[in-house]
Amino acid sequence: MLTINNVWMMICIALVFFMHLGFAFLEIGLTRQKNTINILFKNIFIITVGLLLYYLIGFNLMYPGFSKDALGILGFSGIGLDAPLKNGVLDLTYNEGYTYWTDFLFQGMFAATAATIVSGAVAERMKLIPFIIFTIIYVGIIYPIAGSWKWGGGFLHTLETPFYDFAGSTLVHSVGGWAALIAVCLLGPRIGKFKKGKAQAIPGHNIPIATAGVLILWLGWFGFNGGSVLSANPSATSLTLVTTCLAAAAGGFLAFLTSSIIYKGFDLTMYLNGILGGLVGITAGADQMSPTDAILIGGIAGIIVVFAVSIIDRLKLDDPVGAIAVHLVCGIWGTLAVGIFGNLAGWNQFVSQLIGILAYTVFCSASSFIIIFTLKKTMGIRVNEREELEGLDKFEHGINAYPDFRLNEH
């Protein structure tokens, strides 16, 4: 069974890794041609450096082995990986579902996702070097500390009614979402996004690629949620995959209906973000919900996405890919839904979910603000007007993503 469980976990690792292609496709598809290389560069940087940082300090910050008398806020178990060995051979009693190495790699794939969420929100106007510095600090330190509070056995896990987040509606998506919101506020909108106080559409240059990205993310979510069972248990994994899939379908369909009624048109991008909203919403409780619960949670998330995008525009915040609506707002909804639907529903659980959301709101917002505001005041975080108008690919990378084609750049 250890071999079967471990193989399933490694398949899920591959699926979660594949999600980074989905994020890259979604971001470049929903933004303009002139910034394609810049977005791809950031996504590749996040994966490579994220894994190295998780090896160096992140894994041991996130799983420090809190002692019973610890506060459960901050712990650290050392630098690098120190696998449990017996007579020089890997100790296979580490966990009944997977080996130490598998555990590290699965959790490492999650770590990079938080910064990827920020990448889409700040697209087309943030300098590359400040983004790199932010990513190093946020993925290397902030995300693992936040993760330790629940998944590492910290104070949220030891509440009388433990905070529950199965696969990361809050621990991954809202952690990235809060950073995205702070970054967008400090950066300001793209040139031309708001005219006379009204939001203007800045169409993405490749909607087919964006659509492919969402479908890849949907596929990858089978590993994201399915792997969070932490074994190949047939009952738990199959239920989790069903609830995940149904929530995505309901989220997309309800976003389509809602946006069609409000805006009198069939908006594919809203449909796509509705699917993602449904996926984010179910992630906190995918193993605890019935199929009907999953449809309700995902459907409500799809409706939330439509209104959240509208509210964000009214607040004059510019989020090119809808990351804040999808990952932050739907992440909060999905976390609260654990106390409303499914096996854990109840007042005590709902209160614990609120406590967890509040804790992550304060920590992630404050840390993101300190990092990004410091970067803004010291080295600047936004490219100049000429660079933004002509494209980051030209000024930061000196290369055109499509050298053989001439598309409308603006």
Q: What is the pLDDT of residues 66-106, one digit of tens each?
A: 877 678 999 988 898 876 666 666 666 677 788 888 999 99
Which tokens in the block code for residue 48?
A: 């490579």
Q: Of 330, 323, 319, whose CA–CA distance to 357 is shortest?
A: 330
- Contacting residues for 85 by C-beta, under 8 A, at least 6 apart: 91
Check residue 97 and give its pLDDT. Answer: 80
- Contacting residues for 86 by C-beta, under 8 A, at least 6 apart: none
* Rounded to 5°, angle at Cα 40 from 36 and 41: 115
Check residue 107 and give its pLDDT. Answer: 94
Amino acid at 255: A
What distance in Å separates the CA atoms of residue 385 and residue 375, rounded to the nearest whole number?
A: 19
Check residue 92 and give its pLDDT. Answer: 65
Amino acid at 381: I
pLDDT at residue 408 tops 60 = no
Per-residue buried b or exposed e for 295-310, using 16+ beta carbons within 10 Å of the residue's own CB: bbbbbbbbbbbbebbe
Cβ pair 114, 176 in contact under 8 A: yes
The radius of gyration of the chain's CA atoms, rounded to the nearest angstrom, is 21
Mean pLDDT for 36-51 is 96
Check residue 223 and give its pLDDT. Answer: 97
Mean pLDDT for 194-211 is 94
Percent of the chain with pLDDT over 90: 87
Mean pLDDT for 104-120 is 91
- Give the 3-state secondary structure percentages of the chain, helix then strand then coil, rounded to 5: 65, 0, 30
Q: Of 393, 390, 400, 380, whose CA–CA distance to 38 is shortest?
A: 393
What distance in Å separates the CA atoms of residue 355 and residue 150, rounded to the nearest whole number?
A: 12
Which tokens in the block code for residue 250?
A: 């309901």
For the four alpha carbons of 251, 256, 262 and 263, in that order, the dihedral sign comes to positive
Question: 261-274 pLDDT, tens per residue?
Answer: 999 999 999 999 99
pLDDT at residue 410 tops 60 = no
Check residue 17 and give its pLDDT. Answer: 96
pLDDT at residue 26 tops 80 = yes
Check residue 81 and give its pLDDT. Answer: 86
Question: 341-392 pLDDT, tens per residue?
Answer: 999 999 999 999 999 999 999 999 999 999 999 999 999 999 999 999 999 9
CA 188 to chain centre: 22
- Contacting residues for 238 by C-beta, under 8 A, at least 6 apart: none
Q: Which CATH superfamily is domain 2-68+90-397 in?
A: Ammonium transporter AmtB like domains (1.10.3430.10)
Q: So where are the chain's domains? A: 2-68+90-397
Which tokens in the block code for residue 115?
A: 């910064």
